[in-house]
C-alpha cells in the first residue's frame, strides 16, 4: 500500500498574496486600518523561527517602529512614524517572517491603544518589497478606481 506516506512532511499551502484582496479585507473589517509604505524597525532576534521546530512555535508580539508614508487621496504622501505591535503568527510549524529595513506595504490596524500589524506565514497584512504595480493598485483602490484581485 502507501506506508511511506505517513512520514511525509506536510506543506503549507497559501493563497497567492494580492494587495487588492488585502485592501478589500481591510476595508470590510470592523477594525480601522491605515495603509503605509515604508520600513519596519525591530530586533530581528525577536522573530519566531521560520519553520521546523518541535513543538510548533508560538506566535509572537514584537515591539517595532514603522517609518514611511501613509496613504491619502494623493497617494503615499503623509509622514508616518509610529511605534507598532508587530504580531508574527504561526500556523503549525510555520511562522511569519519579516526583516527590519526592508521596504514594506503594510495594512496597519488602528486601535485605542496604538497600531498593530499582523503577519502570517502566508503574508497577512504586509507585503515585503512590493512592486510599483502593487503600490499603484493600492492607490487606485483608495481612490475608488478599479480594484480587482489578480488571477
pLDDT of residue 4: 36
Task: Please report whether residue 11 resides in a domain.
Answer: no
Is 76 within a domain?
A: yes
Predicted confidence at residue 111, as pLDDT, reads 82
**6 part of a folded domain:** no
Summarize pLDDT for 61-86 with one digit per residue, the tens: 999 999 999 999 999 999 999 999 99
C-alpha cell at 46: 525577536
- Residue 113's domain comprises 32-142
The answer to whether residue 123 sits within a structural domain is yes
Decide if 112 is inside a domain: yes
**Domain-embedded: residue 85:** yes
Q: 33 or 111, which is more confident?
A: 33
pTM reported for the whole predicted model: 0.87
Count up the domains in the chain and report the number. 1
Q: SS3 sequence, the chain?
A: CCHHHHHCCCCCCCCCCCHHHHHHHHHHCCCEEEEEEEEEECCHHHCCCCECCCCCCCCEEEEEEEEEEEEECCEEEEEEEEEEEEEECEECCEECCCCCCCEEEEEEEEECCEEEEEECCCCCCEEECCCHHHHHHHHHHHCCCCCCCCC
Amino acid at each position: 500500500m502507501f506506508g511511506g506516506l505517513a512520514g511525509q512532511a506536510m506543506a503549507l499551502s497559501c493563497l497567492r498574496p494580492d494587495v487588492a484582496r488585502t485592501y478589500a479585507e481591510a476595508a470590510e473589517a470592523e477594525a480601522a486600518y491605515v495603509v503605509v509604505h515604508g520600513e519596519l524597525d525591530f530586533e530581528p532576534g525577536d522573530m519566531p523561527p521560520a519553520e521546523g521546530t518541535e513543538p510548533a512555535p508560538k506566535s509572537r508580539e514584537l515591539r517595532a517602529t514603522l517609518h514611511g508614508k501613509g496613504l491619502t487621496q494623493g497617494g503615499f504622501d503623509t509622514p508616518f512614524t509610529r511605534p507598532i505591535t508587530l504580531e508574527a503568527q504561526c500556523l503549525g510549524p510555520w511562522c511569519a517572517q519579516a526583516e527590519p529595513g526592508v521596504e514594506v506595504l503594510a495594512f496597519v490596524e488602528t486601535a485605542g491603544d496604538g497600531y498593530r500589524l499582523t503577519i502570517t506565514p502566508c503574508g497577512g497584512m504586509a507585503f515585503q518589497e512590493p512592486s510599483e504595480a502593487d503600490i499603484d493598485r493600492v492607490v487606485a483602490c483608495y481612490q475608488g478606481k478599479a480594484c480587482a484581485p489578480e488571477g
